[in-house]
Structure 1
Amino acid sequence: MKRIEVKLALPVVAPLLDVIRELADGLRHDLAAPLALNDIDEDLREAWVGDLLEAQSTEVQALLGLFNEEFFSEGVVAFDEENAETIVRACAAVRLRLREHHLKDLADEVLEAGEVDLQALDETLRRAFMCYLFLATIQELIIQHLDESILDG
């Protein structure tokens, strides 16, 4: 089984984990990408959205679970074929929430290119932007090195 281990700097990542944790609570109650399901039965809609919320919350908790005692003692997180798809989806959910709640004043092109003057941003916006880039990097690493499991999954 393919496995990626990434060594991260704790002083850099810890504040970003705080951002993810703050957003995780909201992602338990609201979908990162809300659906317009007005033309289906209300009971079906509630069940469907409930299942999606449960999956989304589980995925975000799996992402946060990577940053466990081992991470805080060794600074290492590991991605493999078993957690790759879950982690990519969790990163996507958190990034969507970051865009919606913290980064809405930045153009999509600026966000995707990462071309932002960090010194011009206030501390809250800077942390949100750095978290956005951090999660994008995780997604890129997984897709680049474990893409077979995602594409075949």
Structure 2
Amino acid sequence: MSSQSLIFLQKLQFFSILEVSYYNKFLSYKMKLSLVLFRRNRLPNGHLFRGKDRLVKKVEPKHLKKIQDDFAIEEKNMFYLRFPYLTEAESSGHTKALGKPEMRKEKLLDNQRRIFKQDVTLYERLQHLRVKESWD
């Protein structure tokens, strides 16, 4: 073989290696795309976290800690409700002393007066007709 043919064969072999590596690269991209597309099939049907085929989250220590904190707060609130600062008699007495029921009643009446128009009698409605009554 001549040296030119050897060089040609070497170039041809080099290009074929490049083509194969490019083809492999293209295949790897295809594989990654197919992995992304196949990911959808691992998800449950319908809503993610509801229903028969739901996705159930794993319980982690932070979730347990949050529940413990919530229970501690609720227990503290129940303690305060068990032993109130004022008794029921004291509580009703101090509202009466402050005049809160009367204030509330007055506030409701003011609100009602503001919303509805004042009552008008028939006598007031026809007052303009009595202007020229001479016998009055």
TM over 0.5: no
Q: Which protein has the larger Cα radius of gyration, Structure 1 or Structure 2?
A: 2
TM range (shorter): under 0.3
Task: For CA contacts below 8 A with separation 6 or more, give which structure has more relative contact order.
Answer: 1
Q: Normalised by the size of structure 2, how large is the TM-score?
A: 0.22
TM-score by length of 1: 0.20
Tell me which protein shows more strand as a share of its residues.
Answer: 1
